[in-house]
Amino acid sequence: MIPNAAEATLTAALLTLLLACASPPPTLPDEAGPQQPDADATARPQTAPEGVRRGSLVAARDEDLQEGERLEQAARLYQAELELMFQQLRTELDGCYLPQLKREPALKGMIVVEFTVVQGGVIGEGPVVSFDGLESEEVNRCILELVKSQTYPEPFNGQFAQVKRTFQFGAF
């Protein structure tokens, strides 16, 4: 299974939580005064498991956390690129809507398009579209064709990116 941005973010959050939970809680001083350490606890040497270099597990967790942070930052940059692209596309989107609005002055609503961008910046599988109030087959078809015809930024993880975009038309 190929992880998406949400899974990478969740993985980074879980790693952070695991690191926090792996540390022993601070000990509070007893009101009766300091206690003597357990003789058995002091007799056992503090050693790493066989075959594991001391500190290597923490270093591996830090590398995983850094990778998760890197992916999260890349996902934010990718979202910003998409937002700029859709802002620049707004005039063309309005070109789908405005002619029909002249024929139907009450025309308003939303279109939600979900798709996967694959390598090369093209849409992989067919987009999933849902309509909320925008009851014009002509407008819907035009917008869908426009969205499908675009070349998108290369996926930030080098594999694919999930995109969900809502287009609103009319007064809300």
> Is 50 a domain residue?
no
> Is 43 a domain residue?
no
Burial class (CB in 10 A: 0-12, 13-18, 19+), 143: buried
> Is 44 a domain residue?
no
Query: In this predicted structure, what is the pLDDT of residue 51?
Result: 54
Residue of 110, 14, 21 whose CA lies nearest to 65: 14
> Is 29 a domain residue?
no
- Asked whether 75 and 5 are in contact (CB, 8 A), the reply is yes
> Is 41 a domain residue?
no
Mean pLDDT across 124-148: 89
> Is 78 a domain residue?
yes
Specify the number of domains making up the chain: 1
Q: Give the per-residue SS3 of 46-95.
A: CCCCCCCCCCHHHHHHHHHHHHHHHHHHHHHHHHHHHHHHHHHHHHHHHH
> Is 150 a domain residue?
yes
Instruction: Residue 104: give the domain boundaries.
Output: 5-20+55-169
Query: In this predicted structure, what is the pLDDT of residue 91?
Result: 93
Q: What is the pLDDT of residues 40-77, one digit of tens each?
A: 544 444 454 555 454 444 455 667 768 788 888 888 99
> Is 32 a domain residue?
no
Query: In this predicted structure, what is the pLDDT of residue 23?
Result: 44
Biggest CA-to-CA distance, the chain: 89
